[in-house]
Amino acid sequence: MTIKVIHTIVWVFFVACILAIWVFALRDDYVHAALSIGVVLVEVLVLVLNGWQCPLTSVAARYTDERRDNFDIYLPEWLARHNKLIFGTLYVAGIAATLARWSNASR
């Protein structure tokens, strides 16, 4: 249960960073948008190096035989199942939006 709580808190932090990219881009705050992009990029690198799985999932797996999509995090199962697709898309689109706004602002 402790691992699920920690995993959920970490997930909320990174989702907040992804959403912050959009807010900062819309406010033309490109420094903070870039910082948010960089923070999430570190998490993406961790996932890549860990076979596209959060390291906390492996820790949680040691304590249960359950393997539903949300066994290691307090999210609805459908969201846990589609998490990378949904928030990966928002992340990439946020980067594109930031670059587009920055490009237009520098003209």
pLDDT of residue 16: 98
Cα 92 from Cα 107, distance rounded (Å): 23
Amino acid sitting at position 54: C
Instruction: Encode the chain (107 residues) as per-residue pLDDT tens digits.
Output: 799 999 999 999 999 999 999 999 999 999 999 999 999 999 999 999 999 999 999 999 998 889 999 999 999 999 999 999 999 999 999 999 999 999 998 77
pLDDT for position 1: 77
- pLDDT of 105: 83
Backbone Cα Rg of the chain: 16
pTM of the predicted model as reported, rounded to 2 decimal places: 0.92
> Total structural domains in the chain?
1
Query: Rounded distance, CA 95 to CA 23, Å?
Result: 12
Domain of residue 94 covers: 2-105
Residue with tokens 């990174």: 14
